[in-house]
Chains A and B, each alone.
Chain A
Amino acid sequence: MKPAPQLKKSSNGAGAKAAELSPERELRRIVATVLRLAKSTGAEETEVHVDEVADALTRFANNAIHQNVAELGLTVSIRTVADGRTARATTNRIDEDSLRAAIEASLSLAHSQPKDPRLLPLPAKQRYRSVHRFLKPTAALCAEERARAVRRACDLAVKNGQVAAGIYASGQSQSALGNSRGLFAAYRETHSEFSITVQEGPAASWAKANSADVRAYDPQKLAARACEKAHLAVNARKLPPGRYTVILEPSAVLDLVGFLFYDFAATALEDKRSCLNDRMGKQLIGPNITITDDAYHALQQGAPFDGEGLPRQKVLLVDRGIPRNLVYSRSAARSTGKQPTGHGFALPNEYGEAPMNLVFTGGDSSVEKMVASTERGLLVTRLWYIREVDPYEKVMTGMTRDGLFLVESGRVTGAVRNFRFNQSIIEMLNNVELLGPAVRATGEEAFEMVVPAMKVHNFHFSEVTKF
């Protein structure tokens, strides 16, 4: 591998220090190099994405670390346009020969297809609202610190006669996007996550947090909560399937409503695969549900620009139960006579766009108040293996997991065996009785969003499993 003289990737560094990203000027230099090289290849227009990641993840199970990994990587993705055609080639080799080869590969791919009558010129220079999501304490978190925190969590489980498994991850990433019409955008963020499952015999429970700022949560408190709930989860009794009032903790809400995100894409409606086809402007869900897409919300993460470099806009998607607006890539906006909203995916692609920063408006209740207000229902910690059964009615199936509790006369009275559900999200969002404050929720089925806990009546559980 022949390194280019002025294109350096940062070193992992020796010792246990967290790896560091390259300075932004290095990414700018790569973008400039690609644009310069592309000029001599016949590309009429060129777009360059540079993405760099330095991540680490400590994984534990059976009260000990069993996997512990770190990753450093940089990719350069090049889209060229020639004669009304476009295509993309990606490489992680940044010497000039490799970059030139990627440009030529992109052009070769582009020339192999028919002209695309919908293809738009690349966007010109844009203005971006700044976001600050890079936190030094997160970037500096090292393997020893993660290991010590894991050790404390595991010791707590051992002390309780329980078994802990989970992850403690931290890292940083950055992206730069530039094109031959002068557009340039750059973004960097840190990310961290602590997740723990605690088992007590056949019972288990779970807690998880995710933030750009590692100081935003306390792994030991999450461990304590999982230990406590795992103990409550022992001696689960079997209840018959049927319709129940449920109190969904934010992670459970997220993993269900997360499946709605692509339905708000203008391209999904054009393709007639959205549950919003023929339903825009109608009272589809309860008037207590309002959904926006807001990349600038304090609890959100992600770049303030989309795959073509357009600034992300805040979009009101559902206003008091009525779907009002969609998100639009430049292409979708052109074909529907709308303005682009800054939600497009990197081209070329067949999906168009999607809102990636969903925010549900919360309420003034809480999980505790929801429990206290419930005569008979189920408290759901987490859902698992959710898949779409009916794309138009948005019926989803999946399982409860890691802590399902019976609520009777306003208090938790015991654990219940896990259920399978077959539930329409549309119906569910018509049956919301109470909302908690919206929080940054994290699960395993959907990307992080800002959602509240919900109390929902008539939630449909179809079968019960053996634990």
Chain B
Amino acid sequence: MWDLCTNALDTARLRGAAYGDVRVMHLRQRDLTTKNGQVGTLSQSESIGLGIRVLANGAWGFSSTDRLTREGVAACAAQAVSIAKASALAKREEVVLAPEQSYIDSWQSPFRKDPFEIPLETQLALLLAADEEMRRVKGVTLTETDMQFRKIDSWFASSTGSRIHQRKAISGCGIAATSFQGEEIQKRSYPNSFGGQHALQGYELVQSLDLLKNAPIVAEEAVALHSASQCPEKIGTLILGGSQLGLQIHESIGHPIELDRVLGQEANFAGTSFLTLDQLNKLKYGSSIVNVVADARLDHGQGLGTFAYDDEGVPAQCTDIIKDGQFRGYLSNRETAHLVGLNRSSGTMRTESWNRLPIIRMTNVSLLPGSWDYDDLIADTHDGILMETNRSWSIDDRRYQFQFSTEIGWEIKGGKKVRMLKNPSYSGITTDFWNSCDAICKLGHWTLWGTPNCGKGQPMQTMGTGHGASPSRFRNVRIGTAFSNQ
């Protein structure tokens, strides 16, 4: 693979590129699903190709190909330079990159059980058994299960001498039960909605989830939701379960801190951000117990945002985003770091595949654990609503105003969960919400959740991001808006 990289970089240099970096990537994926006791999807795929990014005449060009012959790669590199020269026809200023060392390294994400070595029969048998457990519950009208495994090899080479090979194994798994009754559809998922939990792990992730124990629980809850009370509309106390809080972090902290959005580079599609450059080190983003980091290092956990180097060849880092409630940092790359006074990228350039340009992406953007035991948090709540497992999510294009709904809610009265609530939802303004946080559960309740489907960029790229969170409490939150009809 290094020969292909060198061929591409040499061609780009000869054609006039001042800088170039190349990614050869080999992606393998296996998808298994069941529905109502039958196998649904059963497929695997592989894709291998090369993408080269170059600077010529002070502007960027990128081209990709799966024709991995000497001629094909050279043509691709020449195309990238031609595109860069075309970009220069509509440039306003020269691209300047923050300095970065060159690295020669090889890294593999740790896993105990290679998911591609586990027999398919074993994997399908587990899904079908969980599916059957859910279908045993009367009133369930649709059962779904899924597993997804990926193995990604990437070879990164730059014209400044880096040669970095990384291999990642990613696993995901989840189950869901749906019940249609009267004029209502209710659904419960485990361990999370929209495909379950995803992490930079092997098959051990699946084995840790205990699907068979949880299948009847979610099935019974899906049916019980029909007879639960409607979540009231009010301003009140809200406790979010960890997975829902993970998505809240993703939407209302992770996206606003992307420096490309802040600088208007995503204005036409993903949107911009309320976190204009003048807010850095000044904005009180959250209450004093709110501490958020963007951490791609393995020390933080095996999340979907964990790696050794980003796709610009910058080592994984931990960046303070919110420290004691104060806004402290953005996600940057080599091109934008200097705009926030940094002399180095924070290492967040990531690409979906060989045929996509790396762009600024979340790594593992996590709320650090607090001091509360979960039972104490419930016992300390006089009147509130606990919401768990995302059902829908939406936020404006500058990331101020959001609305989330969850699959299930629980009314808390006098420190106890007293009854199930259906159709729970809440909404608010990002900074008001995070400033209303008055309790965060401790490390024992903290999970590094995986969001496998974050869309951004044009052409669209889907990326996995990690979000560590533990159940947390928020005061004076607007609850029940989604089902209000006023």
Q: Name A residues whose Cβ lies closer than 8 Å to a Cβ of B.
A: 1, 3, 9, 11-16, 19, 55-75, 77, 86-93, 105, 108-110, 112-114, 116, 118, 142-144, 146-148, 150-151, 154, 163, 165-167, 169, 195-197, 199, 204, 206, 242, 271-273, 277, 348-350, 384-393, 395, 397-399, 401-402, 418, 420, 422, 444, 460, 462-467
Nearest-CB residue, chain A, relative to B85: A16
B interface SS class = mixed
B459 at the binding interface (Cβ < 8 Å): yes
In the complex, chain B residues whose CB is within 8 Å of the CB of A397: 392, 394, 403, 482
Q: In the complex, A134 Cα to B41 Cα: how many Å? A: 32
The answer on a CB contact under 8 Å between A71 and B64 is yes
The answer on a CB contact under 8 Å between A72 and B482 is no
B108 at the binding interface (Cβ < 8 Å): no
The answer on a CB contact under 8 Å between B423 and A90 is no
Specify which of B39, B47, B401, B405 is in contact with A420 (CB 8 Å cutoff). Answer: B401
Q: In the complex, A464 Cα to B400 Cα: how many Å? A: 10
- Known contacts A16-B86, A72-B66, A147-B86, A65 near B59 by CB under 8 Å: yes
The answer on a CB contact under 8 Å between A389 and B268 is no
The answer on a CB contact under 8 Å between B268 and A61 is yes
The answer on a CB contact under 8 Å between A105 and B91 is no
Specify which of B33, B34, B42, B405 is in contact with A110 (CB 8 Å cutoff). Answer: B42
The answer on a CB contact under 8 Å between A349 and B267 is no
The answer on a CB contact under 8 Å between B142 and A271 is yes
The answer on a CB contact under 8 Å between A72 and B458 is no
The answer on a CB contact under 8 Å between A113 and B124 is yes
Q: In the complex, A58 Cα to B92 Cα: how many Å? A: 15
Shortest beta-carbon distance from B48 to chain A in Å: 6
Specify which of B66, B83, B359 is in contact with A16 (CB 8 Å cutoff). Answer: B83
A to B CB contacts below 8 Å, 29 in the list: A1-B69, A11-B72, A12-B63, A12-B78, A12-B79, A57-B459, A61-B268, A62-B265, A67-B60, A67-B62, A69-B62, A73-B66, A75-B47, A87-B43, A90-B43, A143-B61, A143-B86, A146-B86, A151-B90, A165-B264, A197-B268, A271-B36, A272-B178, A273-B142, A348-B39, A348-B40, A389-B425, A390-B185, A420-B394
Q: In the complex, A116 Cα to B85 Cα: how many Å? A: 55
In the complex, chain B residues whose CB is within 8 Å of the CB of A144: 86, 89
Instruction: List CB contacts (< 8 Å) of B342-374 with chain A.
Output: 355-357, 359
Q: In the complex, A214 Cα to B82 Cα: how many Å? A: 22
In the complex, chain B residues whose CB is within 8 Å of the CB of A60: 90
In the complex, chain B residues whose CB is within 8 Å of the CB of A418: 396
Shortest beta-carbon distance from A348 to chain B in Å: 6
Q: In the complex, A242 Cα to B357 Cα: how many Å? A: 43
Q: In the complex, A150 Cα to B46 Cα: how many Å? A: 36
- Give the bracket for the number of chain B residues in contact with chain A: 35 or more
The answer on a CB contact under 8 Å between B67 and A11 is yes
B49 at the binding interface (Cβ < 8 Å): yes
Additional 12 contacts, C-beta under 8 A, given A14-B75, A397-B403? A19-B79, A64-B90, A90-B44, A143-B61, A146-B86, A197-B268, A384-B271, A390-B483, A393-B183, A397-B394, A420-B394, A467-B398
Q: In the complex, A395 Cα to B184 Cα: how many Å? A: 12
Instruction: List CB contacts (< 8 Å) of B253-312 with chain A.
Output: 263-269, 271, 274
In the complex, chain A residues whose CB is within 8 Å of the CB of B394: 385-387, 397-399, 420
B210 at the binding interface (Cβ < 8 Å): no
Nearest-CB residue, chain A, relative to B485: A460
Shortest beta-carbon distance from A431 to chain B in Å: 14
Nearest-CB residue, chain B, relative to A8: B67
In the complex, chain B residues whose CB is within 8 Å of the CB of A68: 59-62, 83-84, 86-87
- Known contacts A72-B66, A167-B458, A389-B405, A466 near B268 by CB under 8 Å: no
B38 at the binding interface (Cβ < 8 Å): yes
Q: In the complex, A109 Cα to B120 Cα: how many Å? A: 7
Interface string of B451-480 (1 = CB under 8 A from A): 000000011000000000000000000100
Specify which of B265, B392, B458 is in contact with A57 (CB 8 Å cutoff). Answer: B458
Q: In the complex, A465 Cα to B395 Cα: how many Å? A: 10
In the complex, chain B residues whose CB is within 8 Å of the CB of A9: 66-67, 72
The answer on a CB contact under 8 Å between B87 and A14 is no
In the complex, chain B residues whose CB is within 8 Å of the CB of A110: 42
- Known contacts A19-B79, A420-B403, A350 near B267 by CB under 8 Å: no
In the complex, chain A residues whose CB is within 8 Å of the CB of B76: 12, 72
Nearest-CB residue, chain A, relative to B75: A12
The 6 A-B pairs of least Cβ separation, nearest first, read A350-B40, A112-B120, A143-B86, A465-B401, A90-B45, A272-B180
- Known contacts A116-B39, A151-B90, A387-B393, A206 near B268 by CB under 8 Å: yes
The answer on a CB contact under 8 Å between B484 and A422 is yes
The answer on a CB contact under 8 Å between B427 and A463 is yes
In the complex, chain A residues whose CB is within 8 Å of the CB of B93: 64
